[in-house]
Amino acid sequence: MRYFDTIIVGQGFAGTALAWQLEFAGRQSYLVIDREPPVTASRIAAGLITPITGQRLVKTEHYEERFREAEAFYRRVEDELSEGPPTRRSRSAPPTTSPSGGDEKSGADNEASSNTNRTHLPPGGGGRSNEVRAGGGGSLRVFHRRPMLRLFQNEREQQIFEAKQHAEFAGLVEEHPHIDPAEIAAPLGGFTMTTAGQLDAQAYLNRSRSWFAYRNSYEAAELDVETDLLICDDGIRIPKLDLRANRVIFCQGFLNQPNLYFAEVPFQAAQGDILTLRIPGFHEHRVIHRGIWLAPAGDDLYRCGSTYSWEPFDGLPSAAARAELERKLKEFLKLPYEVIDHRAAVRPIIRESRPRLAMHPRHPRLGFFNGLGSKGALLAPHFAAMIVRHVFNGTSLG
C-alpha cells in the first residue's frame, strides 16, 4: 500500500496551489487525485487578476499583498516547470510504502514505490501551443502581467473613480488611457489598471499535472468520499486505490452533492458562461472591462465573459447567457466577430465570498479548501500557503 503524508482531492486552482506549496515547503509527500472532467471552473477560467471590480469599483481586499504573493508564487512554479522535476528527489519527500513518521519528518527516498502514471511525459516536453517561453531563455510563462482597461458605463462610475483614484487606488491605476475610437466605443473614457495579470489556466494546470505525475504525485481517479475513505487510528485508507495517508484535503470546488464531511458549508455558487471569439483585425493587448470583460487569447482570438446565474447548476452553456454577453460586448466593440466556442462552469462561492479552510472537528485528518469564488487565480497561492503553515506549525486557519 502506498503512503503519502497528504492526499489532495482535486486539481483545480485550489488543489494545484496546495500541492505546489507543499512541494516548496519540501518536507512531505503528497498525492493529487483528480477525476479529470473535460470542463471545470479552473479549466475554463480566464485567469484574470483584477484589482478593481463591479459597478461600484470595489478594490479587492489586501490586493497589493495578494498580487505580490501570487506573482512570486507563479514565477516560482514557472521556474520549476521550466527546469523539469528534480532527478534526485532532494527537496520533498517522495511517496513511500510506509508513513514518514509524522508531519515533521520526511520519508526516505523510495524509487520502488508503486505508481500508476508512469506514462506521463516529463513536464519539459509537449504542451499547448500558446504557452510562452520568455526571451528565448527557455523559461515557461504561465502568468502574465497584463494591463487592463476599464471603461466607464455611466457618470456614477466616473465619480466613484475620481473620489478613489488618489487614495484607495493609488499605485494601481492610470488616467486617460489610449482608446482607439475605430475599434472601441468609450464616450465616457476610462482608466487603466496597471497592477493586474492573467494566469494561463490551461497551461498552468496541464504542466503542473505532468510535473506532479512525473514525480509520482498525481493520479487520475474519482474518489467517492462516502464509500472510498476509511478513517483509521493511524491514518486514512483508500483501499480501492491502494493508498494510505496521514491526511486528506478536499479541494473539490463546487459539487452538486456536497462532501459528506463538510456538508454544512453554505455554498452560494454562481454558474458562469464564457465565449471564445475570433475578432479579425482587432489588435488590443489589454483586457477590457465594461460590465463584462474581453481578454486577448493569442492571434485574433479573445475570450469574453462572464455571466452569473444561480440556477440550474448544470454546467451547460446557456443561450440566455450568450445573448447577454453579446449584447454587452456590442455596447463597446465596434468590430465584427465570430463566436467559436461557448463554455460554462460553476464558481465555488461560499457565503460572504471568502475562501474556507477547515479541518474537520471530529476527524482532524480531513481538511477542506474551497470557496475561491471568482478570484481563484489571485487567492489560491495565499490560502494554500496558510494550510501548509497550519500543517507544519499549527498556525490558525481562520
Ligand X SMILES: Cc1cc2nc3c(=O)[nH]c(=O)nc-3n(C[C@H](O)[C@H](O)[C@H](O)COP(=O)(O)OP(=O)(O)OC[C@H]3O[C@@H](n4cnc5c(N)ncnc54)[C@H](O)[C@@H]3O)c2cc1C
Binding site for ligand X (CB under 6 A): 9-15, 33-35, 37, 40-42, 44-48, 222-223, 225, 251-253, 272, 274, 305-306, 345, 347-348, 370, 372-378
How far apart, in Å, are the Cα atoms of 121 and each of 42, 102, 112, 165, 384? 22, 32, 19, 48, 26
- Whose cell is 469574453? That residue is 304
What does the DSSP 8-state code read for residue 113? S
Q: How far is the CB of 307 from ligand X (least distance, A)?
A: 8
Q: How far is the CB of 136 from ligand X (least distance, A)?
A: 29
Q: How far is the CB of 385 from ligand X (least distance, A)?
A: 15
What does the DSSP 8-state code read for residue 81? H
Helix (H) or strand (E) holding 324: helix 319-330
Q: Which is nearer to ligand X, 180 or 314 (CB)?
A: 314
Question: 3-class DSSP state for residue 92?
Answer: coil
Q: Which is nearer to ligand X, 51 or 107 (CB)?
A: 51
Q: Which is nearer to ligand X, 47 or 123 (CB)?
A: 47
Strand partners, 31: 7
Q: Which is nearer to ligand X, 97 or 318 (CB)?
A: 318
Give the separation between CA 122 and CA 111, rounded to whole angstroms.
17
Q: Which is nearer to ligand X, 203 or 345 (CB)?
A: 345
Q: How far is the CB of 39 from ligand X (least distance, A)?
A: 9
Question: Is the backbone peptide bond immediately before 86 cis, with ω within 30 degrees of 0?
Answer: no
Q: How far is the CB of 111 from ligand X (least distance, A)?
A: 27
Contact 49, 198 (CB under 8 A): yes
What does the DSSP 8-state code read for residue 232? E
Q: How far is the CB of 196 from ligand X (least distance, A)?
A: 11
Q: How far is the CB of 222 from ligand X (least distance, A)?
A: 5
Question: Is the backbone peptide bond immediately before 306 cis, with ω within 30 degrees of 0?
Answer: yes
Q: Which is nearer to ligand X, 123 or 253 (CB)?
A: 253
Q: How far is the CB of 227 from ligand X (least distance, A)?
A: 11
Contact 198, 144 (CB under 8 A): yes
Dihedral angle of Cα 91, 94, 96, 99, to the nearest 10 degrees: 50
Q: How far is the CB of 241 from ligand X (least distance, A)?
A: 11
Q: Which three cell numbers stand for residue 101?
A: 513518521
Q: Which is nearer to ligand X, 110 or 243 (CB)?
A: 243
Neighbours of 84 (CB within 10 A): 14
CA distance from start to end of the chain: 34
Contacts of 324 (CB under 8 A, 6+ apart): 307
Give the separation between CA 262 and CA 359, rounded to whole angstroms.
9
Q: Which is nearer to ligand X, 11 or 110 (CB)?
A: 11
Q: Which is nearer to ligand X, 160 or 241 (CB)?
A: 241
